[in-house]
Structure formats: C-alpha cells, structure tokens
Amino acid sequence: MLRATFAGFSTALSALQANQKRLDITGQNLANMNTVGYTRQQLETSSLNYTNPVSKYMSNPTFNVGFGTQMNCVSQIRDPYLDAQYRMQMTKSSYTDGVQTALDSLSRVLDESSISGIQKAFDNIQSVLSNLQDSANINDAVFESELRSRMQALTNLLNDSANKITEAKQDEFDRLKGEGTSEQGAVEKVNDLLRNIGDLNVQIKRNQIVGQPSLELLDERNRMIDELSSYIPIEVTYYKDDDHSGTYTAPDGSIRDKMYEYDQNGKVIGKKEWPDDLRITMSYKDETGATNSLILVNGTEGGQGKNYAEATVNGTRENPEGASMTFTGWAAYNAANKTPVTISSGDNANPTNAHNYLEGGSIQSSIDMLAATKDGPAHKSVECYQYYTEKLNMLANTFATVINTINKDGNGGQQADLLSSRDGSAITAANITVNTDWYSGTVHFGNTSSTKPSGATDTALNMLEAMKTRFDGNRDIQGIFANLGVALPDLGDKTFSDYMTNVSTVLANDSLANQTALKTNVTVLNGLQDSRDSVSGVSLDEEASNMMTYLSAYNAASRLMTALDEALNTLINNTGLVGR
Amino acid sequence: MAFTDSSTDEAVSGFSDTLEQLLGLMGSISELEEAKAEAASTKQHQKIDGLLKEEQALILKLRGLEQLRMKQAGALGWQGLTFRQILERADGGQKKLLSPLFDKMNAQLRRLTDSKDSADRILRLRLKELEEALAGAPQPRLHDSYG
C-alpha cells in the first residue's frame, strides 16, 4: 500500500498549528496571571489516525502511522476536590469572621479593661458613700449632690451601653438586609449571585452547545460560587439535563441510555456530546436535626430567570431580634417541593422550638448573634447581643431596686425613689435615670426625721453594704427587703461591680476563643487557596518552561517540514536518474 | 448505691471536678488541633509528628477521665443522661454548680469539633497531594533488567 506523497506535510502542519496554539495559550495565561479568578488554560490534543480494519486476507499488511495531532479543545485546569474543600472552609471562616465583627462591636461598649466604664462608675458611687458615712458630711447637700452626679454618671453609662448595643444589633440587621443603607445586605448579594449564576448557566450552556467553551464565563461563575460560599454552605454538582441522562424506551421496546446514539439495529454508535449543567444546593440542619438540602440554582431548567432561588429577610431594623431568612427554592420547581426553608437561630432555652439552621456562613452568624433570647441558639459558640442586653437590664433593674428599697427604708418606709425609668415602664439599662424628684428636692437621700432620726446615716451605711454584697437571692441588707416585702435581689452571687466584670469577662473569653478559631480557619483557608493556585493559578516558572518546550516543538515541526521537502526533492529530482 | 445528703454533695463535687479537668483537657486538645492545622497549612510537616504524639497522650488521658465521669454519673443515677437531662433532675444547688460547667463544656466541644474539622480538612488535602506526587514520581526498580 502506497503512502500519500504529501502525507507528512499535513503531519508537520498540524504540529506547527498545535504548537502555535499552545504558545498563544501560554501568552494568554501570562497576560492574565494577575486577573482575579482566572484559571490556567491548556490545549487538549489527541493523535490523528485512521481506524481501518485489519483484514486477515490483506496480502501486504502495513503499519498505520498517524497523520499528526488534532486540537480537541482549550480547557481549564481545575481540581473539583480543591474547589469543594475551599468553599467549605470559606463558609466556616465567614461564620467566625461574622461573629468576630459582632463581638468587636460589643467590645467597644463593654470591654471594661480598656475603657473606664460601668464598673468604675460603681466604684465611684461606693467611694462617695464611704465619704457620706462621716457624720460631718451626712447632712451636707454637696455630698448628696455628688452622690447624685455619680448616680447620673452610672445611669448615663448604662443608657449609652444599652443604646450602643441596640445600634450594634441594627448594624447587624443591616448586614443581613441592607435596606436603606449605602451597602448591599447579605440577602441582596445572595440574590444577585443566584440570579447571575443562573443566567451564566444558561449563557454558558448555549455557547458550549455550539462548541464555544466560554472559559471566561466559567471563571466568572466560579468566582461567584466562591463568593456565595461565604454567605451560606453550598454544594456544587455537575449533571446532564433530563434529555441526556437516564433511559428511555425505544419503539422496539428496548431500554436505551439517553447519553448514547443508536443505529437502526439498536447498537451504540457514539456518545452524545452535550455540556454539563451546574446545580447549587444549600445544605442545612432541619428541624429534626438531620442534614437536608435545598436547590438554589438548578442548571438551566426552567430557562433564563426561572432556574434560581430567592431569599428574603424576616424582621425589622427597629426590632432586629429573632431575624431570620427564608429561601424559596428555584422558581421553576414543582409546587410540591417548593416549600420555603426558613433559617433561624432557634432558642436554646426552649429546645422543643425546633428550627432550621446553616452550619456556617456569614448569614447564619448574623442570625445567631440576633437571637431573640439571651440563651441564644443551641448551636451557639458565643453569647449573642440579647445576652448582653438582658445582663445590663438585670444589672440596672437590680441596682435601682436595691437603692430605692434602702432609701425607702431610710425615709421611714415612704416611697422615695432615687432612680427611676424615663418612661414609667420597668427599669432597664436603656431607660434608667436619676429621679427628677431627687433633683427638685422633693425626694432626699435618706431623711433624718422624728420617726427615723438616723435615717440618712443608716441609708449611707446600708447602701455601702449593698455595694459590697454578693446578691444570690438569699442575702438581705439589715432585713430591709424582708421588712418592706421586696424580693431579695439575685445577681448570681456577685456584687454590682463583679457582675459587670463577669459580663466583660464572658465577652473577652468569647472574643479570644473566636479569634483563635478565626485565625485557624483563615490559615487553613489560605493553605487551601495556595494549593488551588498551584493547580489553577498561573505560575510564571511553569509558563516560561512551557514556552521554551512549545517553541522547541514548533521549531522541530518546522524542521520536519524542511526534511520532508528535502525528501520529496530527492524523490522527484534525484531518484531513478542513473543512465539519463 | 444510696447517698446521704453529704455524700451526694461530695459525689456532685467530684463529678464537677472531673468536668473541670475534662474542660482543661479539651482546651489543650483544641490547641493541638489548631497547631496541627496551622502546621499543615503552612507546610511545616516536620512539626506534625510531634503534635500527633502529644495528642495521643492527651487522648488517652481524655478516655480515662471520660470513664471516671461516666462512673461518677452512674453513681449519681445520671448514667447515659445528656447535660440537659441531668440539669432537669438536679436540685437547685447542683444546678447552680453544674449549669455553667455544662455551658462551658458545650462551647469547648464546639471549639474542639471546629478545630478538628479544619485540621482534618487540610491534612486530607496534604495526603492527597502526597499521593499524587508519589503517583507521578518515577518508581524505583527492584531489578535492573539490563544486568
């Protein structure tokens, strides 16, 4: 069997073209080595050869030599395992990062180690009361005025702390919803990402069907999926659409696989070339404690605008406690499976109040920090905003009760509140204030009267004792509470000052533990990113080495063409010339 | 075994001491897990061996303490109960003593699970990279076929 005269030239030509393309791709990689989200590209080739059947009757069997190389496609170098690990770690890191942001805002209010705060205000009150013990000072209006000023300073600090915690809660809510702020909230970002990924799914598949790989769009989609994983835990899967997966029954009754082409006799003659679809599911712990999932983006099913889910925030900025987020599955979902999933913080104090929650992500961190009760969610790692609000309320209310009860005793059992609430409701950290009647002189600190000759002195001594008492629900101050029928105060066996120190310590411990967790999570995330970059990122050394290899291959292909030309010249001009 | 009031108090106090020790130990294991995760992330593989040995010793200690805790819980009639169930059965004083410990235990357990999860993730990746490197490396020949 004769070889085609010019066969070698097409081999050399295919090698020249392939290596030229490889050099072009190397250039593209180098040009984008600093482009965010760019994935290294490579040329995929295969050897060209005919697959003629070999017949045993052939008289002169020949060896089949290939006809060069075929460029199949330009592909990206990605490792799905690394992508999945990176995204899981991203979800985890974002949760601890979100919690840290909340703890930092609380620290600015309650960190008594770095700011002269509530604890110091209690110490100042104690100091004035010590001065008031002196009989020379007890009836001096200046000392009473100083005590009032110190009380005012304390109530101002409590008001300020309570207001700042409320502001921190509202900021946290803004991070979720973002309505009315200059920055987008998490829900808007998640909805944007889901819509864009859904649209890209459609665009990419449309391009891939006509043979355009759309690598840049794939990069864009991967970048968005990475970003989405910082908000919620997700899983990404690739699959063939319904028309190209599963089986069907052929007219002859046989069961056939949709991914293959069949001839008229029912024999497989090829595999259908059809691009994969991408599905994104959100995994969550459901009300029974089991891991469940909700499809957020479902390939291209339903078409543009219908293949993705939507999220909404429940709650208001004015009452952000107990905020939650509802995810409604992809729009084209059938009605039976379209039950929305509401993600909330649940309630640690009431474990029967089952709820869905996410195991990570910045959205769950905001929801957890905004838990409605001080106990927070059962899965909590740190105390929530409401814990600190209620602790401060307890402190303010107990302090006011103790001071007012002792002063009532000092005033011969007549109501003489030194501290009150601004709006007449129960005393909290936000509304506690010095009674205006004390300013106007209608109410006095203790009162030396005929019925209570030592009223003022006793009041000073009793208040001083109260400042040093560890209230545990069993301790009284000189039997005053029992006499006046007031419930004994309970601060968990702590003085006012110690109670505040304890609140501050809880915050400091939570913050330290969370910072350590955040540091570990971020270090691991960076380790995963480095590994991912070593696979998908552009390495200058590697590309430079590839460039030299491809150039050598290009030169060799060029030399092959020259050699073939020389061989042809020999064949045409110098063969069989003897005797001419 | 029936307890008198004072012996019950002693038993509860012993139980809370064991919980305190468990807390400390879990904290140490969490720190080791964090160190492991950091060493693997920054490719300081030489550190990991030492950390693993240290961790094994702590885990043995943890097992011992856990057995002691179970024995003490059994003696108090709390065998196999969850923290929440124990608190439901405990009286006022016991609740006051145990409740903060259980809260700390929950938080410490979360920290341990969290750090272990991170360490496992990066270690699994490093093992995968090692396997890939070994698969790509030229294999040593047992016999030189060319004499």
Q: Does A528 touch chain B (CB under 8 A)?
A: yes
Contact B125/A526, CB-based, under 8 Å?
A: no
C-alpha–C-alpha distance, residues A45 and A106, integer Å: 59
Alpha-carbon torsion (A293, A299, A301, A304), positive or negative = positive
- Token output for A241: 């659409």
- Give chain B's residues under pLDDT 70: 1-5, 137-147
Predicted confidence (pLDDT) at residue A466 exceeds the cutoff of 80: yes
Residues of A in contact with B37 (CB under 8 A): 520, 523-524
Give the list of residues 6+ apart from residue A198 with CB closer than 8 angstroms, or none: A297, A304, A305, A307, A308, A330
Of A329-333, A421-425, A429-433, B15-19, the one with minimum mean pLDDT is A329-333
* Token pair 């929530």 in the structure block, residue: A384
pLDDT value at position A173? 95
- Mean pLDDT, to the nearest integer, of A230-238? 95
- The answer to whether residue B67 sits within a structural domain is yes
- Token output for B7: 């012996």
Give how far Cα A377 sits from Cα of A366, A383, A454, A565, B110, Å. 12, 9, 51, 80, 13
Q: Does B98 touch chain A (CB under 8 A)?
A: no
Question: pLDDT tens for residues A338-372?
Answer: 678 999 887 655 555 678 999 999 999 999 999 98
- The answer to whether residue B136 sits within a structural domain is no
Contact A528/B125, CB-based, under 8 Å?
A: yes
* Token pair 């961790």 in the structure block, residue: B55
Q: In Å, how far from its chain's centre is CA A433?
A: 40
Give how far Cα A21 sits from Cα of A71, A108, A211, B136, Å. 9, 58, 17, 26
Q: Does A311 touch chain B (CB under 8 A)?
A: no
C-alpha–C-alpha distance, residues B118 and B92, integer Å: 39
- Mean pLDDT, to the nearest integer, of A397-408? 94
**Residue in B with minimal Cα distance to A378:** B106
pLDDT value at position A18? 96
Q: How confident is the model at residue A13 (pLDDT cuts 50, 70, 90)?
A: very high
pLDDT value at position B145? 45
pLDDT value at position B8? 78
State which H helix or E strand residue A260 sits in: strand A260-262
Contact B107/A89, CB-based, under 8 Å?
A: no
Give the list of residues 6+ apart from residue A280 with CB closer than 8 angstroms, or none: A194, A197, A225, A228, A234, A235, A236, A295, A296, A297
- Token output for A99: 């919690």
Contact of A264 with A253, CB cutoff 8 Å: no
**Residue in B with minimal Cα distance to A525:** B41
Of A198-202, A559-563, A570-574, A576-580, the one with minimum mean pLDDT is A576-580
Q: Does A516 touch chain B (CB under 8 A)?
A: yes
End-to-end CA distance of chain B: 79
- Mean pLDDT, to the nearest integer, of A121-127? 92
pLDDT mean across residues, chain A: 88
- Token output for B26: 């879990």
C-alpha–C-alpha distance, residues B139 and B134, integer Å: 8
Contact A524/B110, CB-based, under 8 Å?
A: no
Q: Does A92 touch chain B (CB under 8 A)?
A: yes
Residues of A in contact with B128 (CB under 8 A): 81
Contact B34/A516, CB-based, under 8 Å?
A: yes
Q: A-B interface: how many C-beta pairs under 8 angstroms?
A: 59
Contact A92/B117, CB-based, under 8 Å?
A: yes
Residues of B in contact with A92 (CB under 8 A): 114, 117-118
Question: pLDDT tens for residues A491-527?
Answer: 988 999 999 999 999 999 899 989 999 999 999 999 9
Give the pairing of strands A247-249 and A255-257.
antiparallel
Q: A578 to chain B, minimum CA–CA distance in Å?
A: 47
- Mean pLDDT, to the nearest integer, of A140-150? 85
- Token output for B82: 């969850």
Count of CB atoms within 10 A of residue A413's CB? 12
Q: B116 to chain A, minimum CA–CA distance in Å?
A: 10
Q: Select from A520, A533, A534 the residue whose CB has the most chain B CBs within 10 Å, as the one to mutate to test that interface.
A: A520
Alpha-carbon torsion (A128, A130, A133, A137), positive or negative = negative
Of A66-80, A110-124, A287-301, A556-570, the one with minimum mean pLDDT is A110-124
Question: pLDDT tens for residues A243-292?
Answer: 888 888 888 888 888 888 888 888 888 887 788 899 999 999 888 888 99
- The answer to whether residue B115 sits within a structural domain is yes
CB nearest to B41's CB, from A81, A381, A523: A523
Greater pLDDT, B92 or A16: A16
Greater pLDDT, A230 or A56: A230
Predicted confidence (pLDDT) at residue A51 exceeds the cutoff of 70: no
CB nearest to B41's CB, from A82, A517, A526: A526
Contact A521/B118, CB-based, under 8 Å?
A: yes
Residues of B in contact with A524 (CB under 8 A): 37-38, 40-41, 118-119, 121-122
Contact A520/B38, CB-based, under 8 Å?
A: yes
Predicted confidence (pLDDT) at residue A484 exceeds the cutoff of 70: yes
Q: pLDDT > 90: what percent of chain A? A: 57
C-alpha–C-alpha distance, residues A339 and A333, integer Å: 10
DSSP three-state, residue A58: coil
Residues of A in contact with B34 (CB under 8 A): 516, 519-520
- The answer to whether residue B137 sits within a structural domain is no
Contact of A353 with A378, CB cutoff 8 Å: no
Q: B110 to chain A, minimum CA–CA distance in Å?
A: 7
Contact B122/A527, CB-based, under 8 Å?
A: yes
Q: Does A84 touch chain B (CB under 8 A)?
A: no
**Residue in B with minimal Cα distance to A529:** B41
Contact B121/A88, CB-based, under 8 Å?
A: yes
- pTM listed for this prediction: 0.86
Q: pLDDT > 70: what percent of chain A? A: 91
Q: In Å, how far from its chain's centre is CA A59?
A: 72
C-alpha–C-alpha distance, residues A379 and A348, integer Å: 8
CB nearest to A524's CB, from B43, B118, B128: B118
**Which amino acid, A278?**
L
Predicted confidence (pLDDT) at residue A442 exceeds the cutoff of 60: yes
CB nearest to B121's CB, from A89, A379, A513: A89
Give the list of residues 6+ apart from residue A11 with CB closer than 8 angstroms, or none: A66, A67, A68, A560
- The answer to whether residue B144 sits within a structural domain is no
Contact A85/B34, CB-based, under 8 Å?
A: no
- The answer to whether residue B30 sits within a structural domain is yes
- The answer to whether residue B147 sits within a structural domain is no
Q: How confident is the model at residue A385 (pLDDT cuts 50, 70, 90)?
A: very high
pLDDT value at position A61? 52
Contact A527/B128, CB-based, under 8 Å?
A: no
Number of domains in chain B: 1
* Token pair 């089949």 in the structure block, residue: A64
Contact B122/A524, CB-based, under 8 Å?
A: yes
State which H helix or E strand residue A341 sits in: strand A341-343
Contact of B102 with B95, CB cutoff 8 Å: no
Burial A66-96 (b: 16+ CB within 10 A, else e): ebbbeeeebeeebbeebbebbbbbbbbbbbb
Of A99, A97, A94, the residue nearest A368 (C-alpha) = A99
Structural domain that includes position B58: 5-131
Q: A89 to chain B, minimum CA–CA distance in Å?
A: 7
A296-299 contact pairs (CB < 8 A, 24+):
A296/A194, A296/A234, A296/A327, A296/A329, A296/A330, A297/A194, A297/A197, A297/A198, A297/A201, A297/A330, A298/A330, A298/A332, A298/A333, A299/A201, A299/A205, A299/A239, A299/A241
- The answer to whether residue B33 sits within a structural domain is yes
pLDDT value at position B45? 86
Predicted confidence (pLDDT) at residue A470 exceeds the cutoff of 50: yes
pLDDT value at position B1? 45
- Token output for B132: 């890939």
pLDDT value at position A158? 94
Q: In Å, how far from its chain's centre is CA B131?
A: 28
- Mean pLDDT, to the nearest integer, of A16-37? 94
Give the list of residues 6+ apart from residue A492 with CB closer than 8 angstroms, or none: A472, A499, A502
Q: Does B107 touch chain A (CB under 8 A)?
A: yes
The DSSP code for A34 is: T
Q: How confident is the model at residue A57 (pLDDT cuts 50, 70, 90)?
A: low
Contact of A238 with A277, CB cutoff 8 Å: yes
Count of CB atoms within 10 A of residue A26's CB? 25
Count of CB atoms within 10 A of residue A408's CB? 20
Q: A180 to chain B, minimum CA–CA distance in Å?
A: 36
Give how far Cα A163 sits from Cα of A166, A369, A388, A431, Å. 5, 17, 12, 10
ipTM of the complex: 0.83
Main-chain phi, psi angles of A257, to 5 degrees: -85, 130
Count of CB atoms within 10 A of residue B127's CB? 11
Q: Does B103 touch chain A (CB under 8 A)?
A: no
Contact A85/B42, CB-based, under 8 Å?
A: no
Predicted confidence (pLDDT) at residue A58 exceeds the cutoff of 80: no
Contact A521/B121, CB-based, under 8 Å?
A: no
Contact B121/A520, CB-based, under 8 Å?
A: no
Give how far Cα A519 sits from Cα of A48, A227, B7, B35, Å. 53, 20, 45, 11
Q: How confident is the model at residue A166 (pLDDT cuts 50, 70, 90)?
A: very high
Q: What stretches of chain B show up as alpha helix (H) in DSSP? A: 5-41, 45-75, 83-89, 92-136
pLDDT value at position A263? 85
Q: B55 to chain A, minimum CA–CA distance in Å?
A: 17
Q: Does B55 touch chain A (CB under 8 A)?
A: no
